[in-house]
């Protein structure tokens, strides 16, 4: 029994580690991969590109000068995303917005759950049509 004690301790420690990791980072990879690509807002024509590493690039957004590119991040959850704009020229830099996603065929719908920046909510179309499963090339970080 004494020889089994270290083995049992290791087994239970490993189980605890695995269970705590699962609970601390509830990411659904199906949602993540399904939203990667380029999307066009059905109401405004805004182009939103979401990259696999969490980068976000928005082009032709309403309310900003023509040619302005908005950069930010997308943090993924089960059926929600948190969007944060990063570029100094962006509205509400550093403030976050939480949106619920729904994807049916090639249409992504976004519902505002909590938005610190009403101006960004006005830039986000409620529905987006997929342009490409590969995001547009963009060299900025």
Could you report the per-residue pLDDT of 30-67, keeping only the tens digit for each? 456 788 999 999 999 999 999 888 889 999 888 888 88
Structural domain count, the chain: 1
- Give the pLDDT confidence score for residue 32 in this predicted structure: 67
Cβ pair 120, 114 in contact under 8 A: no
Residue 49 in any domain: the answer is yes
Q: Is residue 1 part of a domain?
A: no
Q: 5-16: per-residue pLDDT in tens? A: 555 445 444 444
Q: What is the pLDDT of residue 22?
A: 41
Note the pLDDT of residue 18. Answer: 41
What is the per-residue pLDDT for 111?
A: 94
User: Is 83 part of a structural domain of the chain?
Assistant: yes
pLDDT value for 140: 55
The range of the structural domain enclosing residue 98 comes to 27-132
Q: Is residue 19 part of a domain?
A: no
Within-domain flag for 140: no
Does pTM surpass 0.85? no
Closest CA to 47 of 35, 34, 37, 60: 60
In a domain, 9, yes or no: no
Residue 10 covered by a domain: no
For residue 32, the domain's CATH number is: 2.40.128.490
The residue behind tokens 């040619």 is 67
Establish if 13 belongs to a structural domain: no
Q: What is the mean pLDDT of residues 70-81?
A: 84
């Amino acid at each position: 029994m004494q020889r089994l004690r270290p083995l049992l301790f290791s087994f239970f420690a490993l189980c605890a580690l695995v269970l705590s990791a699962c609970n601390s980072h509830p990411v659904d990879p199906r949602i993540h991969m399904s939203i990667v690509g380029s999307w066009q807002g059905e109401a405004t024509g805004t182009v939103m590109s979401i990259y696999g590493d969490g980068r976000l690039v928005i082009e032709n957004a309403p309310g900003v000068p023509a040619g302005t590119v908005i950069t930010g991040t997308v943090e993924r959850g089960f059926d929600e995303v948190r969007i944060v704009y990063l570029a100094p020229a962006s509205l509400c830099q550093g403030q976050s917005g939480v949106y619920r996603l729904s994807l049916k065929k090639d249409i992504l719908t976004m519902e505002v759950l909590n938005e610190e920046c009403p101006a960004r909510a006005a830039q986000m179309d409620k529905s987006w049509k997929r342009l490409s499963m590969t995001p547009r090339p963009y060299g900025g970080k």
